[in-house]
Chains A and B, each alone.
Chain A
């Protein structure tokens, strides 16, 4: 059996460890993804910066070259004193390259000489301030002033430009005094500012950023997919297995096993599951075994075991029933149970009796076999109840006692025959003894007559008469035994009766040298009985006891002794008379026959009727006679009588 407590205890940590591992996988993967995204971001940013720098450098180089060219052209124009041409030149130059956002020529005193886009939004002071600081401020060192400088400017509309400022230096040999009074060679005459549009660069950067973002997104998606796949591999597949296992189990397929040996927490769960399945399988096998065992008991019982539903239709019919009734179960299941009863009212009565309880035990009824033969059965009917107590039918266990009853009748018959045989033997012995005396007597008569010896004739004749008398007595007692008479019931003082019997036996007891003790309980009540009948019972028992003493050889120091006792029996409402002797006793086979008429162990004495008559009188009082005897030690006869006498009915005596 499964020990649920410990299994559950080991099952839970297993599951917890799996869940812990799951959370850990998600955490680690999340962290890796964040780091990956961050690094992709940084890489993107650095790439963008590098691109920007390269683009700007290139733009600067281009711009510087262009600026030199512009300045060279400017110088040519200026040399030809065609100052009026300057704005047009600037415009033309600017148009040569669409990347130019603006080109301005600014004189040293800060005056805008020419501009590609006439600008009234830009003031010299604000717009050109940085250039002026470096190139046009008085006292500016020539090295700094003569260098080209580049700067990225951002407008309010977020448009960026690379502003390249190239100083225009007065060269040696130029008659500055003429052209540029007050200025010496090497000083800054003015500046050319070329704004180179960075829109292309910005577009590139935007594009690059988009790519970076896409890369991050893709890597995140891929990372999540990988994590999902990992957890799926770790858990999902096996959870599906678990579900499948549970479903197979629900379908009563106990052969399913995971056999997982990966050793992780879930494997423990699978192990527990496999164990549980094994246990379930074993328990089921055990249950099936028990079921088969119980079915076997019912099936193999020689008794008829039949169950019936509440509708009175047969539900089960065991092999014993098939055997006795001759039906196959398929023939009777679903049919009314009444078909097997010789008288269906027997069943109705039993069911009615069952109202007071759930059983009717051992009632006799008759079943009819398929062949129409009647079988006597001892039936026990029990109500079947469901677990909640609702009646669901009845079960009958019946024993075929037809044969038993037949044997009983046979036994009774043979017992009667044996009793008759014993009686006849007894009669034969008695008659033989009487004939013996008569034959002897007649011999003497014959002899006396031949010798004319009258005394011998008389003596012989007396003997013949004795035999005739004995025979008469026997035939009288036989008649007596067969005769019916009414008991003369009256209140009888048993103590008085016992003393009377003692008085009557005293002389004979003295003659035979037998002692007798009287033991009458002081609380003996008056008993309703046929006084004369009970007196003869006690007399017969005493006479029997005296004979038992006569037939025994007493050892030295022991003498024949009788006890006549009367006590109130343990049993309510009865008294008991006991006659106890220390005579020869009887073996069991004799004890069994002593109440049979004419049975005698004494060849010449008595008629064999004494104890048979005793038993008959006691029975007519609704009393009982018992005998206990040990050969060589003595015998006790006990007569139990009801104090209030027998019920009012006529009895044979």
Chain B
């Protein structure tokens, strides 16, 4: 029985190449084009892993993520977050304890960084993996394998 991966991204091209890459590596895929759609798909049939884009209209990836983590049924589904600021977020993570200096120019990074800090304070588990854009499909597959085999 192949593992099922849910791809949530509002960009059609991204959904497409991620699907191709995953299926090529033996995974079954489901796609959703925004947060609402993503939630619907999870409720229909919980996947083994979720690839989640952060910036999406209607319900952002982050909102959906928090919702899932707060729901007992879905909180253990591993999540790979796709964002252009993944590297920067990791930097922020590393210095969260001491210097809280933020990049003054990047509102996206700023928003995300704050949101993650807040999540940790609420006792929620942060996303398992952040993958930086532009996404290298081979790196992604490796990460997926690492999580669900």
Measured CB to CB, the residues of A under 8 A from B are: 418, 421-422, 424-425, 428-429, 432-433, 435-441, 443-444, 447, 456, 459-460, 463, 466, 547, 550-553, 589-590, 593, 599, 601-604
Quick check: B58 and A550 within 8 Å, CB to CB? yes
Is the CB–CB distance between A437 and B84 below 8 Å? no
Smallest beta-carbon distance A427→chain B, Å: 11
In angstroms, Cα B133 to Cα A432, docked, is 6
Q: Which of chain A's residues have a CB closer than 8 A to the CB of B13? A: 437, 440-441, 463, 466
Q: Check A447 against B24 for contact (C-beta < 8 Å).
A: yes
Indicate whether B134 reaches chain A with its CB closer than 8 angstroms.
yes
Q: Which residue in chain B gives the minimum CB-CB distance to A589?
A: B107
One of B16, B20, B54 near A447 (C-beta < 8 A): B20
19 contacts between A and B (CB under 8 A): A421-B105, A422-B105, A424-B105, A429-B108, A432-B133, A433-B133, A435-B133, A436-B14, A437-B14, A439-B137, A440-B16, A440-B18, A447-B21, A552-B58, A553-B59, A553-B63, A593-B107, A603-B55, A603-B84
* A-B interface pairs (CB < 8 A), number: 90
Across the interface, which residues of B come within 8 angstroms of A438, CB to CB? Answer: 134
A-facing residues in B6-30 (Cβ within 8 Å):
10-11, 13-14, 16-18, 20-21, 24
B135 touches A440 (CB 8 A): yes
Q: Which of B16, B24, B55, B107 lies at the interface centre, i.e. has the most chain A CB atoms within 10 A of its CB?
A: B107
Name B58's contact: one of A425, A553, A590 (CB within 8 Å). Answer: A553
Say if the beta carbon of B44 comes within 8 Å of chain A. Answer: no
Q: How far is the CA of A163 from the CA of B84 in the complex (A)?
A: 171
Docked complex Cα distance between A187 and B97 (Å): 177
* CA distance in complex: A97, B108 (Å): 165
Query: B14 touching A444 by the CB < 8 A rule?
Result: no
Closest 10 CB pairs of A and B: A440-B17, A421-B105, A436-B134, A435-B134, A603-B55, A550-B57, A439-B134, A432-B84, A436-B133, A443-B137
Q: How far is the CA of A439 from the CA of B138 in the complex (A)?
A: 11
Distance from A619 Cβ to chain B, minimum over Cβ atoms (Å): 23
A421→B83 CA distance, assembly (Å): 20
Within 8 Å of chain A (Cβ to Cβ): is B106?
yes
A446 to chain B, nearest CB (A): 9
The yes or no answer to B149 lying at the interface (CB within 8 A) is no
Contacts of A463 in B (CB 8 A): 13, 16-17
Assembly CA distance A425 to B108 (angstroms) = 10
Cross-chain contact B59 with A425 (CB below 8 angstroms): no
What residues on A are CB-neighbors of B106 within 8 Å?
425
Query: How many angstroms between the C-alpha atoms of A634 and B103 in the bound complex?
Result: 27
Residues A418 and B17 in contact, CB atoms below 8 Å apart = no
C-alpha spacing A589/B134, complex, angstroms: 27
Which residues on B sit within 8 Å (CB–CB) of A602? 55
Distance in angstroms between the alpha carbons of A604 and B108 in the assembled complex? 12
Given contacts A436-B133, A463-B13, contact A456 B20 (CB under 8 A): yes
Q: CB within 8 A of B10: which of A466, A601, A604?
A: A604
Closest chain B CB from A502 CB (angstroms): 23
B18 to chain A, nearest CB (A): 7
Q: A447 to B11, alpha carbons, bound, how many Å?
A: 21
- Shortest B74–chain A CB gap in Å is 19
CB distance from B43 to the nearest CB of A (A): 17
The answer, yes or no, to whether B136 is at the interface (CB within 8 Å) is yes
Return the CB mask of B55-88 against A: 1 if under 8 Å, else 0. 1011110010000000000000000000110000
CA distance A372 to B63 in the complex (A): 64
Contact at B54–A425, with CB atoms within 8 Å?
A: no
Q: Which of B55, B60, B103 contacts A604 (CB 8 A)?
A: B55
- Asked if residues B57 and A439 are in contact (CB atoms below 8 Å), the reply is no
